[in-house]
Structure 1
C-alpha cells in the first residue's frame, strides 16, 4: 500500500525538465538506502538476539529519513525560487577595490614630489622627474588602495530548487556547509 501511495504522489508532482528539486530528492533517497544497507550489514554481524532489535531500529531510522526527505521535497515545491542547497562554502581573502582612486591621488602626489625633487634643474629634467613621480605615485597609490580593501570572507555558493545558482559573501562564518538546506532572503542564504 505504501508503494502505491508513493507512486500516486510521485505522479501528482508537477513535471519539470531538469528538475533540481527532484534530483535532490532522488539523491537523498539513494543516500538513505546506502545508510540503511550499511546499518543492516552491521546488524547482521551482531548475535541473533541483538540483530532483530538492531534491524528494527535501522528500519525506523530509514522510515524517518524518508519522511524527512519527502517533507523537504514537498516544502521545496512551495519555495522553488528561494529554497535550495549549499554547493560549497569557501573561506579566504577577498580583493579590495580596484584602486583607481588611489592611482589618481598617488599619480598627482607623485608628480608634485617628482617636480619638487628636480629642484632648479632644467625644464626637461623637471618634466622627466614629474612624469616619473606621477607613474611611481600612481602605481604605489593603486597598490595601497587595493591592499587596504582586502578582507577575510566566506563565499557560499548554492543551487536553488528552480535550477538557478547563486553565491553570497559573508564577513563572518555563516554556519553553513555543503548539502545544507537553505532559504535565500535578501540575497543571503540561511539554514532552514
Structure 2
C-alpha cells in the first residue's frame, strides 16, 4: 500500500467515525440545507440531465434534492451497482420506484440505460467523504466513481462535477493518486464553493 493509499484509508476512517456520531436530526437538517443550496447552483439549475445518487445512512442527504430536480422537469439518472463495482444507470421516477439493493443501497427499478448513459449528463453529483481546496475529492474507496470519471473523460464529456458534504468535510488536503479527478464545486450546509477547472 502506498503512502497516499494509507493516508486515504486513515482519513476515511476519521471521517466515517465523525459521520457515525451524527444524529438523525443532524442528517435531516443538513439534507434540507444541502437541497436548498444545490437547487440554487447554476450548474444544476441549467441542467436538463443530472446524474445523482440516493443517499443512505449518514451520508449528506440527497432525497429532497432528487425530488426537487424531478419536479422542475430535470431528468435525473441514478446509479445501479454492477457485480464488478461499475455503475449502470436508470431514470429516477420517484421514491416509490426505488428498491433496496446490495450494500444497503437504494436503486431505481426502471429500465437500465447502460454505463455510458452518464455521458449525457450536464452535471454529475458525486458521493464523497471530503474535498480539499483544490477540489480533490475523497470517495469511499470502491472505485465505482473513478470508473465513471474515466468514462466521462474517454467520451470527451465535460459535465459539472459536484459533491455534497458536511461543512467539516472540506479539509486542508486530500491525498491524491494519478487517477483522481477534481470536482468543480462542493455544496455544504454552509454554502457553495467552486474550484477552478483545470
Q: TM-score, normalised by structure 2?
A: 0.21
- Please identify the structure whose Cα radius of gyration is greater: 1
Which structure carries more relative contact order (alpha carbon 8 Å, separation 6+)? 1
Q: TM-score, normalised by structure 1?
A: 0.22
